[in-house]
Structure 1
Amino acid sequence: LSINPAIRSRAQIFEVKPLSEEDIRVAIRRAMEDAERGLGDYHAVLAADAENHLVYATNGDLRSALNGLELAIKSTAPDAEGVVRITLPIIEETVQRKALTADKDGDGHYDVISALQKSIRGSDADAALYYVARLIEAGDLQIIARRLRVIAYEDIGLANPAAVARAVTAIQAAEQLGFPEARIPIANAVIELALSPKSNSAYTAIDAALADVRRGGHGDVPDTMKDAHYKGAEKLGHGVEYVYPHAYPGDWIPQQYLPDKLQGTQYWQPKGNSKVEQAYADQYKKLRDAQQKGLH
C-alpha cells in the first residue's frame, strides 16, 4: 500500500502497533466478566494455561483472541454445576495453534525460543532441530522467522555472511510457503546456522558504538564530512576539504572521518573464527594502520 506524497504531506499519520500481552490479557478478562457486552452470562472459567496460550498464540491481535475465546465458550457445554470450563486443549482448537507446553506461567513459550538460539549458537544441530520442531508443531512461523533472522546476524554474522544470506532466503521461502511445507527451508536454515562458524563481532561492535553515542560528549562531525549540498555551506567550511576517495589509486586515501574526540577508537574487535572474517580483519587492520599513519 502506498500513498501519494502530496496527500501524505497533508495527512496526520499514526503508527498502529500490536497490543502487548498484558493488554490482551486484560481484555480477555473483561470480556469474560462483562455480561452486557461480553460473555459474562455464560459463567465461564478459563484455565490459567489456556489463558496464557490465548494471549501468546494471537500475537497481539485482540480480535483473534476474543474470537477464539467466544468460540471456545459457546461451543463448550457447561458441567453439572452450570460452569463452562475452558481448558488448554479447547483453546488450542479454537485458535488453531497448539501450545508449546502446558506450563501455567507461560514461560515455556520463551524457554523453547531461548533454547533454539542457544543450541544454534552452541553448534548443536540436533538440539536446534528439536526445539524448532516444537515451534513448528505450535504453528509459530512468525516467531521462527524472526528468531532465525536474529540468530543469523547475531551469532553467525561476519564469520559466514553467505550462510546468513542463505538463511534469510530460506526464511523468506518458508513465509511464502506456509506450513506444512515451510518446515523444509526452516530445517535447511537451522542446520546450516548450527554448523557454521560463529562470530558476534558485528553485534558487539554496534553496541560499543551505541554506548559512545548514548554517553554523549563525543564531538561534532568533522567539517570536511559535513553536507555541502546547500547554499552557504562553503562559507561555513563544510565539505570544503573533503577528498573524494574514488579519484585516487585503490579508491582510498587517508582522511579524518570520526569526530576529534573519538579519533583512534576501535569498535569492531574481529575474532577471525573463519577465513572470511579473518580476511575482513586483515583488511580492517591494513586500512586502520594506513589511516593513522597518513593522519600523523
Structure 2
Amino acid sequence: MTNEPLASKMRPNSIDDIISQQHLVGPKGIIRRMVETKRLSSMIFHGPPGIGKTSIAKAIAGSTQFKFRQLNAVTNTKKDMQLIVEEAKMSGQVILLLDEIHRLDKAKQDFLLPYLENGKIILIGATTSNPYHAINPAIRSRAQIFELYPLDENDIRVAIERAIENAEDGLASYHPQVEEGAIEYFATQSQGDVRSALNALELAVLSAQPEDDVRHVTLQDAKDCLQKGAFVSDKDGDMHYDVMSAFQKSIRGSDVNAALHYLARLIEAGDLPTIVRRLLVIAYEDIGLASPGAGQRTLAAIESAERLGFPEARIPLSQAVIELCLSPKSNSGIKAIDSALSDIRKGNVGQIPNHLRDGHYSGAKDLGRAIGYKYPHNYDNGFVAQQYLPDKLKDKIYYEPKTTSKTEQQFKSIFEHINQSQHKNK
C-alpha cells in the first residue's frame, strides 16, 4: 500500500484526461497545439493552489513521452539540477517542473539558463504569485506565461466521481458509497481547489468504518473532513487584489448584492485594515461631492468597526457599504486634482500673480497693495472677481461638475457663476 495522496495518484497521464483549463488544453488551446506538434517551449503556470499546474505539466510529459522530473526552487539544490541536466544530455530533452519558481535564486537560475537556451531543458515553472512581478526577467523572457483558473463545481464533481470509480489509483477498492449531499459539499466548498476536494474525500472514505465491506460517506462526514470549505484568501497574492478591485467596482456600479458578497469575502479573510482603507477611498473617490457627508459617515462606521472588532464589525461595515452603493456617484473631485497634478508634473506651472504672493520678504506687502489684491470678505457674498491662476493657466478648467446629485448641481451653479464673473473681469 502506498502513502501517496489520492490527489497525486489521480493526476492525468495525458492532456486528454485534464478536466479543466480548456483555454490551454482544449481543441484550439496553445498547449495542446504544442503537444501535438511536439514543439514545446519553456512555460510558466500561475494561479491559485490546487488547480492543476503540476497535473498539466505531467500530462504534457505523458502526451509527448519526454522524460519528466520535478524539483522545488527552494528545497532542491543546484546539484539536483545538475543531475537532471546530465540526464537531458543523454536522453535529448527533459521536462523539468520547478515548483515555487518565483523563489529561484540567482546561482540556480544562472546554471539553468544555457540549457533553456539550447532546448535541453524544457522548464515548466509553477507559482501562485504574479510572474510579472515575482519572477526574474531573465527566466520570464525565456518562457511563455499562462494563467490557470480555479475549477468550477462541475469540474470538481467530475474529479470526485473519477476517484470514486477508479480501482487502480482511486478509491473503488474500498467500495465507497458517497451520499449525493457529500459530493455536492466537496464540489462547492473546495472553492475550485481540486486537491483539497480529493484529499478531503480520501480522508472521509478511509476513516469510515466498513459495513458489509462498504464504506458510507455522509454529508456530515464531508463537513468534518472539509471543515471550512477551503476558502481562498491569499493576502499577498493576486486573488486578494482581485477581490478588493471587485469590491470597489461593485460599489461604484451601485450593485449592493455584489458589494456585500465581496465584503463578506474580505470579512471571512479577517482583513479589517484592507476593508476600512478601501471604504474610505471609495467614499471620496466614487461618491465624492455627490454626497459630501458620506465620507464622514463612512469614517464613523470604520471607527465603530475598529472598536468592535470581528464578528460585530460586520454590522457597521455592511451599513456603510449599502449607503455607498446607493449614494449618487461623482468622481469630479479626483478628476479635478488629477488634472491639476498632471499640469504640475508636465512643468506647466507659471508664475504666481504678484497680488497673491506672500509678504514674508521685504517689499512684498507694498507690491501686493500696489497691484491691488481685493479682499473677498469686503465684498457682497464674500466674492470678488480677480485672477488667481498664473497667466499661462488663467483659462484652465480643472473642476468639471457632475449633476448626479442636488448637492453637486448646486456646486455647479455656484462654479459657473464664479467663472462667468471672472471672465467678465478680464
If the TM-score is normalised by the length of the shorter chain, which range does it land in? 0.5 to 0.7
Query: CA, structure 1 residues 243+152, in 2 after alignment: closer, same or farther (shift >3 Å)?
Result: same
1:201 maps to which of 328, 332, 346: 332
Q: Which amino acid aligns with 1:209?
A: A
Shift of 1:186: 0.4
| Contact 1:174/1:181 (<8 A) preserved | yes
Q: What corresponds to 1:187 in structure 2?
A: 318
CA RMSD after TM alignment: 3.2
Query: CA, structure 1 residues 239+171, in 2 after alignment: closer, same or farther (shift >3 Å)?
Result: farther
Q: What corresponds to 1:60 in structure 2?
A: none
Structure 2 residue 371 is matched with structure 1 residue 267: no
Q: Which amino acid aligns with 2:255?
A: D
Q: What corresponds to 2:14 in structure 1?
A: none
Query: CA, structure 1 residues 160+234, in 2 after alignment: closer, same or farther (shift >3 Å)?
Result: closer
| Contact 1:100/1:109 (<8 A) preserved | no
1:174 maps to which of 305, 318, 332: 305
Query: CA, structure 1 residues 103+228, in 2 after alignment: closer, same or farther (shift >3 Å)?
Result: closer
Query: CA, structure 1 residues 102+192, in 2 after alignment: closer, same or farther (shift >3 Å)?
Result: closer
| Contact 2:289/2:408 (<8 A) preserved | yes
Q: What corresponds to 2:253 in structure 1?
A: 122
Query: CA, structure 1 residues 50+228, in 2 after alignment: closer, same or farther (shift >3 Å)?
Result: same
Q: Which amino acid aligns with 1:167?
A: T
Structure 2 residue 384 is matched with structure 1 residue 253: yes
C-alpha separation in 2, matches of 1:164 and 1:208:
22
Structure whose residues are more often strand by fraction:
2
What SS is found at the alignment partner of 1:268? Answer: coil
C-alpha separation in 2, matches of 1:224 and 1:281:
27
2:362 maps to which of 231, 234, 240: 231
Structure 2 residue 232 is matched with structure 1 residue 101: yes
Q: What corresponds to 1:242 in structure 2?
A: 373
Shift of 1:175: 1.8
C-alpha separation in 1, matches of 2:339 and 2:295:
22
C-alpha separation in 2, matches of 1:150 and 1:228:
37
Q: What corresponds to 1:218 in structure 2?
A: 349
Q: What corresponds to 2:419 in structure 1?
A: 288
C-alpha separation in 2, matches of 1:239 and 1:179:
60
TM-score normalised by structure 1 residue count: 0.64
C-alpha separation in 2, matches of 1:135 and 1:105:
13
Shift of 1:291: 1.3
C-alpha separation in 1, matches of 2:234 and 2:299:
32
| Contact 2:385/2:422 (<8 A) preserved | yes
Q: What corresponds to 1:156 in structure 2?
A: 287
What SS is found at the alignment partner of 1:205? Answer: helix
Larger radius of gyration: 2
C-alpha separation in 2, matches of 1:32 and 1:244:
72
Task: Specify every segment of 5 or more residues in structure 2 that has no aligned partner in the other structure, as ranges.
Answer: 1-73, 77-98, 103-125, 130-195, 197-228
Shift of 1:172: 1.9
2:273 maps to which of 136, 142, 148: 142
Aligned length: 211
1:132 maps to which of 257, 263, 284: 263
How far does the alpha carbon of each residue in 1:3-23 deviate from its partner, in whole angstroms, 9 at most, with x for none? Answer: xxxxxxxxxxxxxxxxxxxxx
Shift of 1:207: 0.6
Query: CA, structure 1 residues 183+103, in 2 after alignment: closer, same or farther (shift >3 Å)?
Result: closer
Shift of 1:230: 3.9
| Contact 2:128/2:237 (<8 A) preserved | no
Q: Percent identity?
A: 54
Query: CA, structure 1 residues 145+232, in 2 after alignment: closer, same or farther (shift >3 Å)?
Result: same
TM-score normalised by structure 2 residue count: 0.45
C-alpha separation in 1, matches of 2:279 and 2:261:
14
C-alpha separation in 2, matches of 1:126 and 1:204:
28
